[in-house]
Every structure is written in structure tokens, then in C-alpha cells.
Structure 1
Amino acid sequence: MRKLTYFIATSVDGFIGAPDGNGDCFYAHLDPEFTGYLASEYPETVSALGREHLGIAGAPPRHFDAVIMGRRTYEPGLAVGMTSPYGHLPEQYVVSRGLTAAPDPEVRLLHGDIVAAVRELKARDGLGIWLCGGADLAAQLIDEIDEFVVKTYPVFLGTGMPMSRAGFGARPLELTWSKTFGGGQTVTAYARRR
């Protein structure tokens, strides 16, 4: 059975983006050690444009072969003409009530009972499923999330889109590993206690 992992970037105070969802605030806090780690350990989580920039366009997936994202997470790529941001993955899903057709044939839309759809995806063979964002979608899928991998950037935003929304409630987690980088970033993984 595949795992669903909420692999997410956050500020020190728990925001995954500005109030409008923009995550550009994190790009000012990158250093070669951190980007090198992401490129080698999680190459599949780097968008198509980022993969070209980092020279890892052909890097195979290590942890995930599917990505699920909400419409608001998908839209920044669309704004710059990137209709298939993770085309290097066999499965890309966008959860949306408003989109009636995917702008790219490599992207599949999920409507209706999202929990049932994710359970069906988890039952398939393959690598893990990456829950890319956002907070509302994570709240809907909280009982299906098996692992949290949190990239914390050394920035305090004070306001913005929170990492979690109402519906998360208290969920006991177990720290499985943590890594700190010279630029102040940390990557921390937690497993759900069932």
C-alpha cells in the first residue's frame, strides 16, 4: 500500500505562503547545501522548470510517483505557462470544484469524494503519493496522511496561508528523522501514530 505524505514548505511560524498563497518568500532563503539535498533526495518534488535549472531533468523519482495538489497550488504554474508542473511523475492530480477540464492531458482532475479517490490511489502499487498542498486539501485528507515531511525556512511571515486549517485536530505524531542545513533550513519527518 502506498503512503500519502504531506511534503510541505513552511515558515518558522507555520505559514506555507503569503495570504494569497504565493510561496516566493521561501526562494530568498535557499543555499547550495539545501537545494543540493532536495535535488538528490527528493528530485521528484522539484518542478519541471526547477529541474532544468538544477540540472536534474532526468532524475528518477525516489519517494513519490504521484502528486496531488489543490487548484490554488496548481495555479501559480499555470500563470507562467507550466500546465504540467510535475510531468516527470507518472501521475499528477489536481483537486478542484471549479475546473471542468484539465489544461494539460498529463494532469487529471479529482472531483467529488476526494477521500475515496485517495484511498483508491493508495491501494495501487507504486511509490508514495505526495500531497503538495494546500492547507484546505490537507485538512480534507488528514485521516489519510501517513507521513509529514516539513521543510522549515528561516523566515517569520507573521501572516499568510497556514500549514493546517480547521479539521486537523490533535494528531499524535512520531519524529522519524530531522536534518538541519547551514542556511538555517530544516527538514523534519513525522509518521502518524495509528
Structure 2
Amino acid sequence: MRKLTYFVACSIDGFIGDPGGDASSMFQFVGDDYLAWLSSEYPDTIFGPGREAMGIADVENRHFDTVIQGRGSYQLGLDAGVPSPYGHLREIVVSRSLESSPHPHVEIVSDDVVGRVRELKAEDGDLGIWLCGGSLVAGELLDEVDELVIKTYPQVYGAGMPMFGGRDFSVSDFALDAVRSFDNGVVVRWYTRKR
């Protein structure tokens, strides 16, 4: 069974964006050391044009062959004129507002996202599924998340878009597997769901 990994950036207090979803204040922490680690360890999570600019467009995916993202996250690519932002992965966008896909490589899922994720997890393959965001999609898929890779940036938002939005209170236990810190204050933590 393949696993669903929520690989996400957040503030110290657990927000993935401001109240409108903007996380651009976190970009200042993507420095040389951290970016070198990200591009070598998780090249599959780098936006297509970024991979080209960094000269890693042909690097094989290490962890994922599929990405799932919400409409808001996907809109960033559309606004930049990139309707297939992760063309090196199978792209799935969860949206109730997009009636058709803006790109033949992008699959739109408008209902039963949990069922679609279970289908993806049941496929054969060595690579997993990357849950890119956003908040409401992560909230809907929390019970399907097998692994968390949380990139915590040294900022406090105070309010904003939570890592898991739209949920009632419930507890899900995860075990800490590893921690990596960088000189710029970024801390990456790996967790596995306790079953």
C-alpha cells in the first residue's frame, strides 16, 4: 500500500498561510543550505519552472509520483501562467469550482476525494502521494495521512490558515521519526501515524 504524505510548510504556531492563504513571508527562509537540501532530498516537491531554473528538471522523483492540491494552492500556478505546475508528477486538484481541467495533465476531483486517495494508495508502486495542501483538503484527508513532513519556519502568524482546516476537534496520534534543523531557523520534522 502506498502512503499519503502531507509535506507542508508552516509557521511556528501551525499556520500554512495568513487568513487569505498567502505564505509569501516564508519565502525569505529558502536560503542556500536549505534549498540545496530540499532540491537534493525532495526534488519532486519543487515547482516545475523552479526545477528548470535550478537545473534539476531531469532529476528522478525520490519520494512521490502523485501530487494532490486544493484549488487555492493550484491557483498560484494558474496565476503564474503555469497550468501544470508539477508536470513531473501525476497532478490532482481538488476543486468544486473548476468545471474542467485547464491542462490535460491535471485531473480535477470535485467529490469523494477520500475515495480517490484510497484508490491511489491501493495502486502498486514504490513512490507515494504528496498532499501539497491546502488547509481544507488536508482537513478532509487527515484520516488518510500516513506521514507528516512539517517544514516549520521561524515565524508566528497568530491567526491564519491552519494546517488542517474545516475539522471538528479530534485527536490523531503520530510518532516523531526524525528532526533536522538549519542555520536559518527552519526545522523539518518527520512523523509517522500511529496505527
- What is the TM-score of this pair, normalised by structure 2? 0.95
CA distance in 1, matches of 2:66, 2:148: 16
Equivalent residue number for residue 169 of structure 1: 170
Deviates more, 1:165-174 or 1:75-84: 165-174
CA distance in 2, matches of 1:173, 1:98: 33
Q: Which amino acid aligns with 1:118?
A: V
Offset at 1:168?
6.2
Q: Contact 2:142 / 2:164 at 8 angstroms: preserved in 1?
A: no
Partner SS, residue 171 of structure 1: coil
- What is the TM-score of this pair, normalised by structure 1? 0.96
Matching of residues 28-39 of structure 1 within 5 Å: 28-39=28-39
Offset at 1:85?
0.5
1:135–1:114 CA distance, 2 compared to 1 (3 A): same
Q: Deviations 1:128-155 (Å, cap 9, x if unpaired)?
A: 0000001111111111100010001112
Q: Does 1:123 align with 2:122?
A: yes
Equivalent residue number for residue 180 of structure 1: 181
Q: Deviations 1:18-44 (Å, cap 9, x if unpaired)?
A: 211122111111221111110000000
Offset at 1:10?
0.2
Partner SS, residue 152 of structure 1: strand
CA distance in 2, matches of 1:168, 1:86: 33
**Number of aligned residues:** 193
Matching of residues 100-179 of structure 1 within 5 Å: 100-126=99-125, 127-165=127-165, 166-167=167-168, 169-179=170-180
Q: Contact 1:68 / 1:95 at 8 angstroms: preserved in 2?
A: yes
Deviates more, 1:164-173 or 1:94-103: 164-173
CA distance in 1, matches of 2:53, 2:155: 24
Percent identity for Structure 1 against Structure 2: 50
Q: Contact 2:43 / 2:56 at 8 angstroms: preserved in 1?
A: yes
Q: Contact 2:44 / 2:61 at 8 angstroms: preserved in 1?
A: yes
Q: Deviations 1:49-86 (Å, cap 9, x if unpaired)?
A: 21122221111100000000011110011011010000
CA distance in 1, matches of 2:147, 2:96: 26
Partner SS, residue 66 of structure 1: strand
Q: Contact 1:94 / 1:109 at 8 angstroms: preserved in 2?
A: yes
Q: Does 1:17 align with 2:17?
A: yes
Over the aligned positions, Cα root-mean-square deviation in angstroms equals 1.1
Q: What residue ranges of structure 1 are gaps of 5+ in the alignment?
A: none
